[in-house]
Structure 1
Amino acid sequence: MASRRALLLLAAAAILCVCAAQCRLAHAWKRSYVVYLGAHPYGRDAPLEEHERATESHHELLGSVLGSKQLAKDAIFYSYTKNINGFAAYLDEEVAAEMAKHPDVVTVMPSKMLKLHTTRSWDFMDMEKDGQVLPDSIWKHANFGQNVIIANLDSGVWPESSSFSDEGMAEVPKRWRGSCPGSAKYAVPCNRKLIGARYFNKDMLLSNPAAVDGNWARDTEGHGTHTLSTAGGRFVPRASLFGYANGTAKGGAPRARVAAYKVCWAGECATADVLAGFESAVHDGADVISVSFGQEAPLADTKSFFHEPVTLGSLHAAIHGVSVVCSAGNSGPFDDTVVNGAPWVTTVAASTVDRDFPNQITLGNNIHMKGMSLESSDLHSNKLFPMVNASGAALPNCSAELASNCAMGCLDPPKVKGKIVVCVRGGDIPRVMKGMAVLSAGGAGMILANGKMDGDDVEADPHVLPATMITYSEAVSLYKYMASSAYPVANISPSKTELGVKNSPSMAAFSSRGPSGTLPFVLKPDIAAPGVDILAAFTEYVSPTEVAADKRRSEYAILSGTSMACPHVSGVIGLLKAARPEWSPAAMRSAIMTTARTQDNTGAPMRDSNGKEATAFAYGAGNVHPNRAVDPGLVYDITPDEYFTFLCALGFTTKDLSRLSGGKFSCPAKPPPMEDLNYPSIVVPALRHNMTLTRRLKNVGRPGTYRASWRAPFGINMTVDPKVLVFEKAGEEKEFKVNIASQKDKLGRGYVFGKLVWSDGIHYVRSPVVVNALG
């Protein structure tokens, strides 16, 4: 531990030196921008001279505006020369505006910060049972993802985790170009499992130098380690968080090779660093790129489509046949909050698994309430403790709102000492930090009370004192009891692990919902996957300046978020890549979507966090069912040219897309409507009278005859032509049309939901149908 702290102190000193130099540059310029020029005409195997020539062209282009090639070299801090053509530079606002007018420039985007979207799950998805791999498990079909390469753009990796051991693994595939660069002091060691670890922080050093903790790919936050091990971690027996969720930790593709690209620092990810990570991962040879971060809110409009680095970087990945999987965001349960909505990425929502960590609150009136926690200590079961509402225990220098959120230093010790403190869930204060605030003020325990928007969605946390979280309805009852009693008292029991919880999965309240305000023609999210209380590897980093009360460390942690749902699907796509290497990224997404489940473990429709039936705006096509995805029967495939045609319909020009495609694409004279993109879901966001949509199915199984059946959305007449498709060989494609017509007396009801299913009696290829009838 002493040597690790010494290393970190050296790193901190090095950062200060770098920051000093970079900050001097920051005073000379105003802001970092990415100048995007499209794609390079050469392929992955281009000689080094081509990359050098591209860099030189960037210096010349910017120099032509700045008046000096040397000034351009000083300003540019990333030159994208592999698959993305462009550069990142610190520029004056006027210079950026001038660059945007240049005929060779597709777009100029100002740098902005993206946010991180932060065991039992594979068993729950029927890939194993009681620790044994099932005969029809996709793990067997895909040899556990043997030699597939999963790249993770996140906060880095903790390489010492057992999840990244290379014991028994063969040599690294020769097609891999990545590495673990860095000096002896700061390098993350590679092995035959963890085959790459790079960091990108130049934009962050310019934008927020205090956030950068070192010139290394080492994960000091834990988020990147957790997501990467969920996607491709090894089997690790006897993993737990302080005894909870005890079992074998495992990633979706446990025999896959993994690579970490650290583009996020202190929970934020800067535009130019993200693009550099995408370019490197594609060039290095990744098969799947997992991205558990994104904007806090959807894009304002399609004009700013290429001002978003995940949208742009993932398009270049898709063009090169690399699957990109993204988290949907944590801004639910509100509608129109989904992010990462481009049609060439797979966007993942978060659902629950059938495991809870319940404990119990006993009130002085003998009422019992169920809570959720990972704290095993108790408050002496034979004693009731006085309770206080945190809002009524504020120090004079704190508002009642801050106190109700249990902000550190806002609780008056004489008012909370020896008491159970009721804190409001939410705000910008992490839940465990609320418990630290209560403990530091002398509180005996804590109850986190959900607000109305949180509903019944509760999460388990490893608190530092006896604590629990309760639903909104339970919170209302608790407040009523406290108001009715002159001396309210309670006790909190230790929590336990409960398996087989009914009505699972359900949708997490925090998971962002559709429709996509930016692209309402494409259903987002695409799919739901486990994202609540997920056990996976974590960092054991100890900051040399750490002063927080919680100094506990564990190799594994339990986290919740669409960040945790995303790598589940990344792992499944890794398995599909191993089992079906000839499939395109679009085919793999289709296989996952059309085989998804929309029912819980009781056979009832999946529920939302408020207890009502969930819709496609919450879960997309449904909850992922990996074993079915390896044999879907039919898929909706999409080529890069079809994505380009979709962009033409959005208003992008042949000039724009010619640059993006390396001069190989021109917009058709009349692009088909955006609703005709060959997506596995059908969305009509503004139906006026009637509309006919076209789709195309490809046979990826045996010859067969597929018949269509459907349930039209309420108030909609729907027909399919033809109703029967006969496939005589693998790879054969057939087109069909769907006619959607509104019933005049059912208008104005908003979005309504139905489904279309093609079946040969063995396979059931299901697509959600979503319509908003306006006239």
Structure 2
Amino acid sequence: MTSEIIRFSWSKAHAYRHLAYKQTDANSISSSNFQVRGQDTFLPGNHILKLGFRELQTCLPNLVFEFSSAPSNTLPVRSKKHESELFKHLSLDTSMEAKTQLFFSTLLLHFVSLHAQSLQTYIIQLHPQAITSSSFSSKLQWHLSFLERTISPEDDPSSRMLYSYLSAMEGFAAQLSETELQVLQKSRDVIAIRPDRKLEIHTTYSYKFLGLNTAVKGAWFKSGFGRGAIIGVLDTGVWPESPSFEDHGMPPVPQKWRGICEEGQGFNSSNCNRKVIGARFFSKGHHVASMSTSLGIVQEYVSPRDSTGHGTHTASTAAGVPVPMASVFSNGAGEARGMAPYAHIAIYKVCWFNGCYSSDILAAMDVAIRDGVDVLSLSLGGFPIPLYEDSIAIGSFRAMEHGISVICAAGNNGPIPSSVANQAPWIATVGASTLDRRFPAIVQLGNGKYLYGESLYPGNHVSGAVKELELVYLTGGDRGSEYCFRGSLPRAKVRGRMIVCDRGVNGRAEKGQVVKEAGGAAMILANTDINLEEDSVDAHVLPATLVGFKESIQLKSYINSTLRPRARILFGGTVIGKSRAPAVAQFSSRGPSFTDPSILKPDVIAPGVNIIAAWPQNLGPTGLPEDHRRVNFTVMSGTSMACPHVGGIAALIHSAHPNGPQLLSNLHL
């Protein structure tokens, strides 16, 4: 099998602490002191491909590493064997829905194909005035003419074209070889050609926290709860059967709406109603990229239906209808409703198991402009690049010209400076903040000391506490057991005990599943010096709690100093008003702009930590395939959750002032 090359491009201004490793021999890597600093890692470069930990283990045997512009304390690695050893010690947190390729923690890799003549997807931007002097009957025919003059006469131009953009940009997306690319670049009508880019898709109480209420002088009353506004959500699709998307009491579909309800696998026109008024899916960029990688295809709905839960969660946060007594196993119980509960939702599925491709995103924005949306909400993004190369920046500028407010997530690469994504001045970029709602799950050690932790397990399924258990923290070897990797926990040492797992690399909820499969009775998830006191919670598959870094130091000190350490977990339900909020979430990306420091971003922060919102009824609350529990709501954290809060607020503003300035203008006043 032909090897690929992975290039890591390090930015000295954003170099992480402890990037130290050494090459011990020709075929192995010692990485005992290897850490990547930050909740997420971002590495600059084009053709960015995001891989989860499992995918890395799958493809690493056929890869060679090449480090360029590396910090001085690193050595180039060119070993063809045992490369996976490097990744076993990465202190990354991919726990925020690592199963899906969302706007949560990962390692970003730059794949460069050795097959120079293989087809790649490019986005070709054309001069808008050029068509006025042409003799073509339509823009599509004009776009096809560029391919006719470029590719071999034996090839069909239409088979190479993925999208013809009519509103978001003047141009098209097509597959080209390296030779064809060079030919097309010489055309005087071509402004720029960019490779397709892969991006990631970065509530019962938050509306009260933001001060939205039913008072006569409140924003809800003045805007009619968002009545008449249309929010376009670009994400992983929707689970239309969720109670948050029922249309009882919803106003009629606005006459200006020109969209459709596109049918596909597990989705038909009857799934749309007066709440979800339209749904489409865009997969051409994703499809051709998946065919050219060795990651394989994950079964998911080829339709607007959501198979991961992320899009359902964000759409309901923006505009879900009121649902009484919503909770996650009785935690956070209350009435769930979106920020603009009477606004309409248009779904544009652009994100799939392997990420979100800019060609698909631009196509969705292109269609959404013509469909008649008032607001676009994008809980996705990538490493910051110059605005003239950024498809979201280009498409959102056209949307702005059509009077559409574009709201985007800032990213989860904090607290690294200048890590913010979606940095165009005409985009409202949203960072994540905390709420004053907590889910205490206190660890009581055998010596009587209490350590504060949080968890959504078990609600009313257990009467307040887990009995005292023997406490085990497995160390040594390749450190896999410290992180509770799959297959790393010996059953004889785990059965019936409470296991301590360090946070990082694999998902938080996945660690609990690993402990459960090994026979463990409970888990304490311990933050490291990377996560510090960040407290994203989960509805774990077994009794578990998350403790901060300070508490984890005390926990491990107790274990190391005690012959037979023991502990129990005391679950405290939901507590409101006991913590200072809002505060910027640790993971929320910081500004200013990486490519232009004069651009100050994010523009605003909104609730993005432990947000409860709608969830597909075919998924467990953790999203793990082994989790067979079923819920209508679950909790997620990230700027992906913050973004639709502002998207809903933008819909309220539009509904109250349909002929007034856009949200972004108000933000910058």
Superposed, 1:125-524 pairs within 5 Å as 125-128=210-213, 133-182=214-263, 186-187=267-268, 189-208=271-290, 210-211=297-298, 213-266=300-353, 268-295=355-382, 297-299=383-385, 302=386, 305-376=387-458, 383-392=467-476, 400-427=478-505, 429-524=506-601
- The offset of 1:71, in angstroms, is 3.2
- The offset of 1:231, in angstroms, is 0.6
Matched residue type, 1:36 = Q
State how far apart, in whole Å, the 2-side matches of 1:216 and 1:358 are.
39
| Contact 1:357 1:374 survives alignment (8 Å) | yes
State how far apart, in whole Å, the 1-side matches of 2:129 and 2:560 are.
68
3-state SS of paired residue (1:66)? coil
State how far apart, in whole Å, the 2-side matches of 1:505 and 1:204 are.
37
| Contact 1:38 1:84 survives alignment (8 Å) | no
Aligned to 1:763: none
Matched residue type, 2:162 = F
Q: Root-mean-square deviation (CA), in Å?
A: 2.5
Deviations 1:299-331 (A, max 9, x none): 2xx3xx333221222111112111100000011
3-state SS of paired residue (1:490)? strand
State how far apart, in whole Å, the 2-side matches of 1:387 and 1:39 are.
67
Structure 2 residue runs without a partner (length 5+): 1-114, 292-296
State how far apart, in whole Å, the 2-side matches of 1:311 and 1:60 are.
27
Distance 1:568 1:381, change over 3 A: closer
**Structure 1-normalised TM-score?**
0.67
State how far apart, in whole Å, the 2-side matches of 1:566 and 1:37 are.
31
State how far apart, in whole Å, the 1-side matches of 2:444 and 2:371 are.
57
- The offset of 1:58, in angstroms, is 0.9
Aligned to 2:190: 105
3-state SS of paired residue (1:401)? coil
Question: Are positions 1:591 and 2:669 aligned together?
Answer: no
State how far apart, in whole Å, the 2-side matches of 1:422 and 1:334 are.
28
Distance 1:473 1:38, change over 3 A: farther
State how far apart, in whole Å, the 2-side matches of 1:40 and 1:290 are.
30
Deviations 1:616-636 (A, max 9, x none): xxxxxxxxxxxxxxxxxxx3x
| Contact 1:378 1:466 survives alignment (8 Å) | no
Deviations 1:382-418 (A, max 9, x none): 84211111435xxxxxx63332221122211111111
- The offset of 1:342, in angstroms, is 0.6
Matched residue type, 1:227 = T
3-state SS of paired residue (1:89)? strand
Matched residue type, 1:122 = Y
Deviations 1:521-566 (A, max 9, x none): 11101100000111111112359xx993211111111111100000
| Contact 1:290 1:326 survives alignment (8 Å) | yes
Question: Are positions 1:92 and 2:177 aligned together?
Answer: yes
Q: Name the structure with the higher helix share.
A: 1
Matched residue type, 2:231 = I
| Contact 1:35 1:107 survives alignment (8 Å) | yes
State how far apart, in whole Å, the 2-side matches of 1:528 and 1:213 are.
33
148-157 or 85-94, which moves further after superposition?
85-94
State how far apart, in whole Å, the 2-side matches of 1:474 and 1:434 are.
19
Q: Which runs of 4+ in 1 moved over 4 A?
A: 26-29, 38-43, 377-383
Distance 1:82 1:489, change over 3 A: same
- The offset of 1:141, in angstroms, is 1.3
Aligned to 2:85: none
State how far apart, in whole Å, the 2-side matches of 1:542 and 1:190 are.
21
Structure 1 residue runs without a partner (length 5+): 1-25, 44-49, 393-398, 594-634, 636-775
- The offset of 1:361, in angstroms, is 0.3
Matched residue type, 1:389 = Y
Q: Provide the aligned length of Structure 1 versus Structure 2.
A: 543
- The offset of 1:28, in angstroms, is 8.6
Aligned to 2:47: none
3-state SS of paired residue (2:173)? strand
Question: Are positions 1:30 and 2:119 aligned together?
Answer: yes
3-state SS of paired residue (2:480)? helix
- The offset of 1:135, in angstroms, is 3.4
**Structure 2-normalised TM-score?**
0.77
Question: Are positions 1:122 and 2:207 aligned together?
Answer: yes
3-state SS of paired residue (1:318)? helix
Aligned to 1:680: none
- The offset of 1:286, in angstroms, is 0.5
State how far apart, in whole Å, the 1-side matches of 2:463 and 2:656 are.
52
Sequence identity percentage: 39
State how far apart, in whole Å, the 2-side matches of 1:212 and 1:272 are.
22
State how far apart, in whole Å, the 2-side matches of 1:405 and 1:316 are.
46
State how far apart, in whole Å, the 2-side matches of 1:439 and 1:38 are.
59
Distance 1:176 1:401, change over 3 A: same
State how far apart, in whole Å, the 1-side matches of 2:248 and 2:563 are.
63
Deviations 1:400-452 (A, max 9, x none): 3332221122211111111111111121x221111000000011111111111
Aligned to 2:656: 579
Matched residue type, 1:413 = R
3-state SS of paired residue (1:269)? strand
- The offset of 1:69, in angstroms, is 8.8
3-state SS of paired residue (1:116)? coil
| Contact 2:441 2:571 survives alignment (8 Å) | yes
Distance 1:431 1:515, change over 3 A: same
- Flag the structure with larger Rg: 1
Aligned to 2:162: 77
Aligned to 1:702: none
| Larger relative contact order (Cα-Cα within 8 Å, sequence gap ≥ 6) | 2
3-state SS of paired residue (2:277)? strand
